[in-house]
Amino acid sequence: MTANKIHLKKDDKVKIITGKDRDKIGKIVRVIRKDSRVIVENINIIKKHSKPSATNRQGGIVEQEAPLHWSNVMLVCNKCLNAVRIKRKLIEDGKKVRVCSKCNEMIDV
């Protein structure tokens, strides 16, 4: 299976558009390209039961972030502070940059 093209990167600010955490804003901690999923900081918290082990002597119930499908999040523009779609633009030095579709502000700095 090939890795899917994802328009999101680590440390991007995103808004959740569906699900129990709808309209919350968080930062992407990890991008899982193989499954087209992202893990967002303090969003989609689940409780996981863990057995005692060498790393976790106590065991018990651990809260952690679960992955979301990338289609359920939208990138937040730094300038207009809205959840926006993005465009790709070539700049003078030949790099492709992500650009806000509403205010034409460059997202990749």
Beta-bridge partner residues of 3: none
Long-range Cβ contact pairs of 101-109 (< 8 A, separation 24 or more): 102/77, 103/77, 103/79, 105/77, 105/78, 105/79, 105/80, 107/12, 107/75, 107/77, 107/78
**Better pLDDT: 5 or 40:** 40
The yes/no answer on whether domain 1-76 falls in CATH 2.30.30.30 is yes
**In the chain, ranges of CATH 2.30.30.30 domains:** 1-76
- Other C-beta atoms within 10 Å of 33: how many? 13
3 state SS of 108: coil
The answer to whether residue 12 scores a pLDDT higher than 80 is yes
Q: Which pTM value belongs to this model?
A: 0.85
For 29-84, the pLDDT digits (tens) are 999 999 999 999 999 999 999 999 998 889 899 999 999 999 999 999 999 999 99
- Residue bearing the bigger pLDDT, 39 or 7: 39
